Amino acid sequence: MTVFILYNQCYLHKLIIKYIYWLNTVVFLFNPLPCCILALTTTTHHSCKFFSGKMGLFKAAGVVYKPVEEIDLGPDSNEFYLKANVKAPRMAGFLVKIFAWFLESRIIGTLLLYILKRNNLIHKLVSNATLEEAPMFVPLHPFVDLNEQEVEQIDSDASPAERVQRAMNCLPLTLEKSVDDSNSSSFRRWTIADYSRAYSSGEITPRKVAEQFINAVHESSRAALPMSFFINYDAEDILKQATESTLRYERGDPISALDGVPIAIKDEIDCSPYPTTGGTKWLHKVRPCTGDACCVMRLRSCGAIIVGKTNMHELGAGTSGINPHYGTTRNPYHPNKIAGGSSSGSAAVVSAGLCPAALGVDGGGSVRMPASLCGVIGFKPTFGRIPHTGVLPLNWTVGMVGILAGTLEDALIVYAAISGQLPSHEPTILPPKLLFPLLNSTNPISEIKFARYGEWFNDCSDEIRICCSNALHLLCEHYKWKTVEVTIPEIESMRLAHYLTIGSECTTSLSSALEKLDFAELGWDARVALRVYGAFNSKEYIKAQKMRNRQMQIHKNIFAKADVIVAPTTGVTAYSIFDDALKTGELDYINGAALVRYQIAGNFLGLPAVTVPVGYDKEGLPIGLQFIGKPWSEPTLMHIAFAMQALCISHHRKPKVFYNLLHKN
């Protein structure tokens, strides 16, 4: 049914006119275009072609950016903090379908996409902007010796199992806790070290844990509010791996501390015997999985039990984790709330105790956002640090394999397993040695300086602002570290350039498949995202890469003033899941903008970053504090995150949905 047939239906005609008025609010127009859109309700095809072809009439002037060396990065800078002035109401159900139909129409869609880009300032800040910088297409950073404190040097060509053992040697000694010890007054999740000790002592076997894992997943899927943790898992394969691990422990010959430990994998990473769906119903049909991704192979070589493919937002094109095909992953702290995305399932399984760690992929905060919302550690290394072979190439210059874990120690162990030399075809400039933080050192690292941009830091809910400010104050007070007030300019320009980049790379990587795809196989929110992504052109992509180069220089100058940038991880805590979104997905740009607010530098500029849970809001929903580091500064970031964790862990709360896999009964 065409748009013109719809116009002949009186009721729908009125609905469309009403919706177009509403759309003016969505894109917060600053020009006379509303009249032009309304004219389309009665205009001819020829007139539509006129409006779509004469966009020069409404061309937005572009910003002329000053040279980087002229920018004042101090706290009294006159650089303006531009908030994402999103006023669009939430859309789900029938409204999402209407919006998708509009965008996919050749006539109205062209004009609407132009308006959306213009009035979300893409034209002004990126497309038509003047930048003197050359484009930087890949955020590769040359290695610089940072003289990091309290580190252990590891040969980068050491085997994954050897690296895991060296990482274990870096951990602090802890009192052994029996799997039957339930008398502790404070909540804590079982760690990889707990699993390893329980297996080695014979208190429980990997086979028993696997059985309890399978039962827990079954229970979670039969709940009144299904948790939808996994897209795919194979009980027979899990039990086979667990049986082999149990035999190794019985022989007294485990491969590493990861032997028998359940690890989940986001369904964006190849992992046999499962298809890699990317959260879709079709992608695995055109791109079959032929084996394990490099990072998964390394985990297997350490004896880890790969327990399945976790749920995710379709194509990673959203922040909620609502998936109309495989169910909505729910937050273990409050099952009526989102888990966040796009690595929703990976965050939720760690939060719920099903795995001490899981892998995700972080292209726009997709590891750190859900980790923060679900109250766990989310760690994204420097671009190029972790092999990307076998990961869906949805966003090859901004996406990185990341780690979600219950504790910083577990993040370090998994990081040790999956890092190291890259396959020869992957571009990188890896440091000659791997450095692990000595978390067991009696001498905490000293003289750390945190860069804090006050207007940006405070652009969040009051509860998050107060909680994160208090956590940062406590950290600095306890370790005698300092906070340096700075200005980080052009944050909104960087966000738009990142969005343009990730969108362009996604549609380019999928272009041949999308040409043949029946769009009915896509969720409605994914259809909207792909239509917007496809509206970007080569000129805009190159402008975005010029912005990347510019921001890399700006951040290099900020890191000359401080060791780490600190900010909340998200601007809001987990928000409610509504029934109307379960079948169509949703467009919630207000919450979405708040969730991605602090994520972009880590991805667009290839910087390492980690989020640590530091408190809860009045509903008991987790709040995370994020640390963004210099390139290759993973050991320093881990030291800081470990220090923050130590000050907060005694206040951690048990999620409403939680499974104790080490309980023998």
Q: Are 362 and 399 in contact (CB under 8 A)?
A: yes
Partner residues linked to 153 by β-bridges: 435
234 sits in which H/E element = none
Q: What is the pLDDT of residue 186?
A: 80
Range 233-241 average pLDDT: 98
Neighbours of 425 (CB within 10 A): 6
Q: Are 381 and 373 in contact (CB under 8 A)?
A: no
Instruction: Give the whole-angstrom CA distance, residue 375 versus residue 370.
Output: 8
330 sits in which H/E element = strand 330-331
b/e map of 649-665 (b: 16 or more CB within 10 Å)? beebeebebebebbeee
Phi-psi region of 196 (alpha: psi -120 to 50; beta: other; left: phi over 0): alpha
Weakest mean pLDDT among 125-129, 162-166, 360-364, 661-665: 661-665
Tokens 């830091």 correspond to 457
Range 607-623 average pLDDT: 98
Look up 266 and say whether it is catalytic.
yes
Tell me which of 117, 208, 266, 546 is the catalytic residue: 266
List Cβ neighbours of 456 (8 Å cut-off, separation of 6 or more).
Answer: 81, 488, 491, 567, 597, 598
Q: Are 61 and 132 in contact (CB under 8 A)?
A: no
Neighbours of 14 (CB within 10 A): 11
Q: What is the pLDDT of residue 427?
A: 65
pLDDT digits (tens, 9 = 90+) for 361-393: 999 999 999 999 999 999 999 999 999 999 999
What's the pTM value of the predicted model, to 2 decimals? 0.91
Instruction: Give the whole-angstrom CA distance, residue 32 versus residue 30.
Output: 7
Average pLDDT over the chain reads 90
Range 425-438 average pLDDT: 81
- Using CA atoms, how far residue 275 sits from 278, 285, 307, in Å, is 9, 9, 14
Q: Are 305 and 196 in contact (CB under 8 A)?
A: no
- The count of residues in the chain is 665
Tell me which of 127, 196, 245, 342 is the catalytic residue: 342
Confidence of residue 442 (pLDDT cuts 50, 70, 90): confident
Return the ∠ at Cα 171 (arms to 349 and 191), rounded to 5°: 25
- For residue 213, the SS3 value is helix
For residue 638, report the phi and psi dihedrals to the nearest 5 degrees. Answer: -70, -40
Look up 342 and say whether it is catalytic.
yes
Neighbours of 647 (CB within 10 A): 16
- Using CA atoms, how far residue 302 sits from 88, 531, 567, in Å, is 48, 42, 35
Weakest mean pLDDT among 30-34, 206-210, 288-292, 375-379: 30-34
Neighbours of 486 (CB within 10 A): 21
Classified by CATH at the fold level, domain 151-178+189-651 comes out as: Amidase signature (AS) enzymes (3.90.1300)
Rounded-to-10 torsion of CA 604, 605, 607, 609: -40
- What sign does the dihedral 264-269-271-277 (CA atoms) show? positive
Give the pair of three-digit tokens for residue 302. Answer: 């350490």
Closest CA to 594 of 576, 626, 568, 613: 568
Give the pair of three-digit tokens for residue 229. Answer: 């943790």
Q: What is the pLDDT of residue 157?
A: 85
Domain ranges of the chain: 151-178+189-651
Q: What is the pLDDT of residue 307?
A: 98
Look up residue 58 and give its DSSP letter: G
Range 45-63 average pLDDT: 54
pLDDT at 54 over 70: no
pLDDT at 604 over 90: yes
Q: What is the pLDDT of residue 443?
A: 86
pLDDT at 59 over 90: no
Look up 184 and say whether it is catalytic.
no
Rounded-to-10 torsion of CA 628, 633, 635, 641: -10
Q: What is the pLDDT of residue 665?
A: 64
Tell me which of 366, 419, 493, 504 is the catalytic residue: 366
b/e map of 292-329 (b: 16 or more CB within 10 Å)? bbbbbbbbbbbbbbbbbbbbbbbbbbbbbbbbbbbbbb
Half-sphere exposure at residue 9, Cβ-oriented, CA atoms within 13 angstroms: 10
- For residue 407, the SS3 value is coil
pLDDT digits (tens, 9 = 90+) for 8-52: 334 444 444 444 544 444 443 333 333 333 333 333 333 333 333
Q: Are 346 and 395 in contact (CB under 8 A)?
A: no
Half-sphere exposure at residue 579, Cβ-oriented, CA atoms within 13 angstroms: 1
- For residue 358, the SS3 value is strand
Biggest CA pair distance of the chain: 80
Confidence of residue 89 (pLDDT cuts 50, 70, 90): confident
pLDDT at 243 over 70: yes
Closest CA to 456 of 40, 73, 54: 73
Write the single-letter amino acid at 44: T
Instruction: Output the 3-class SS for 111-149.
Output: HHHHHHHHHCCHHHHHHCCECCCCCCCCCCCCCCCCCCC
Confidence of residue 421 (pLDDT cuts 50, 70, 90): confident
Angle of helix 524-533 relative to helix 108-119, nearest 10 degrees? 70
pLDDT digits (tens, 9 = 90+) for 536-553: 999 999 999 999 999 999
Confidence of residue 84 (pLDDT cuts 50, 70, 90): confident
For the chain, what percent of residues have pLDDT higher than 90?
82
- Using CA atoms, how far residue 503 sits from 71, 90, 534, 583, in Å, is 29, 21, 7, 23
- For residue 64, the SS3 value is strand
pLDDT at 57 over 60: no
For residue 610, report the phi and psi dihedrals to the nearest 5 degrees. Answer: -145, 140
Q: What is the pLDDT of residue 98?
A: 95
Q: What is the pLDDT of residue 296?
A: 98
Q: What is the pLDDT of residue 40?
A: 34
Closest CA to 229 of 359, 348, 374: 348
Range 412-432 average pLDDT: 83
For residue 377, report the phi and psi dihedrals to the nearest 5 degrees. Answer: -75, 135
Closest CA to 465 of 571, 375, 368, 372: 571
pLDDT at 292 over 70: yes
pLDDT at 322 over 80: yes
